[in-house]
């Protein structure tokens, strides 16, 4: 018989010195932060009548909001999302990935796959600003996957053109 033992609920956390030189603690997301994060992702996703993803909107602030919810200062307060957004994108991305890891929320992103579908639309609803922000925050491996995705699309277009 399967069982769960949650008797040791030690919070997963790491120490962080922010770009503002302040000491913070990055902690795993509590239930509210995790729920708010998933709801924000869903709110940023546009679904078609068939229930499939057809677009992404206002995605840029989702990661900063999650980082702010998982980051704590010495007084036990969360920094604002606005503060996190003033930090370099590479800092935000590393903190976001680590917060997801600490929170066991590394479900894997389907954003790249969804983006491919959206970009294939003749009247794509995604803005260039959202797209450029998204691309700038990608890790090296995620960026390589995006490049592969675009290469596959270009290859497919070339095959259609030559047939």
- Domain-by-domain residue ranges, the chain? 13-162
pLDDT confidence of residue 111? 52
Integer Cα distance of 56 and 51 in angstroms: 14
pLDDT confidence of residue 4? 86
Q: Yes or no: say if 60 and 134 are a contact pair by the CB < 8 Å rule.
A: yes
pLDDT confidence of residue 109? 46
**Ordered per-residue pLDDT tens for the chain, 163 residues:** 898 888 888 899 999 999 999 999 999 999 999 999 888 888 888 877 777 777 777 777 889 999 999 999 999 999 999 999 999 999 999 999 899 999 988 654 445 555 666 666 666 666 556 666 666 666 666 666 666 666 666 666 667 667 7
Question: Hey, what are 50's tokens?
Answer: 């068939």
pLDDT confidence of residue 105? 83
Please report, for residues 9, 52, 118, the alpha-carbon distance to residue 123 in angstroms, rounded to integers and kept in the order given: 48, 16, 9
pLDDT confidence of residue 128? 57
């Amino acid at each position: 018989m399967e069982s769960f033992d949650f008797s040791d609920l030690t919070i997963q956390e790491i120490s962080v010195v922010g770009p503002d030189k302040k000491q913070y603690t990055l902690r795993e997301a509590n239930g509210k932060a995790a729920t708010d994060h998933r709801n924000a992702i869903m709110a940023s996703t546009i679904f078609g009548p068939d229930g499939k993803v057809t677009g992404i909107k206002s995605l840029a602030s989702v990661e900063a909001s999650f980082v702010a919810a998982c980051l704590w200062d010495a007084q036990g307060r969360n920094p604002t999302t606005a503060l996190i957004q003033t930090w370099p994108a590479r800092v935000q991305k590393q903190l976001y990935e680590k917060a997801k890891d600490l929170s066991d929320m590394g479900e894997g992103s389907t954003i790249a796959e969804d983006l491919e579908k959206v970009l294939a639309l003749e009247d794509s609803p995604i803005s260039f600003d959202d797209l450029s922000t998204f691309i700038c925050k990608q890790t090296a491996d995620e960026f390589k996957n995006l490049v592969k995705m675009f290469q596959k699309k270009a290859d497919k277009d070339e095959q259609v053109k030559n047939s």
